[in-house]
Amino acid sequence: MESEFIAQLLDLGITGLFIGWLLWSQKEQAKRLDAYVNRLLETLATVEQEREAAFDKIRDRYDDVISKYDAERDKLLIDISGKLDEGLKVIHQKHEEERLARLARDTNG
């Protein structure tokens, strides 16, 4: 079949040779374009992987920073809670002392 096609092109003379060259050129150009598209797709895949890796790195760093601040906040809350408890104990103790002092004054008075 291919040889018949080539024979028909040769029968057309210089025009047939030109048509043959155009067809061959088109086929080669399609091959080059396919190779270019494949390289482009590989490059895009690589860029996507690098982007994902960069996002993962940023996400990990963000998580580390948030964890650090969460730990600091939790420590501060525990410290503040402890100090509030101490303050409430002191207030309660002072209130109890005043109540006892008033009671002693009222019974002596």
**What mean pLDDT is predicted for residues 53-71?**
96
pLDDT of residue 109: 60
Give the three-state DSSP class for 1: coil
Least confident of 10-14, 29-33, 74-78, 95-99: 10-14
**What mean pLDDT is predicted for residues 20-32?**
91
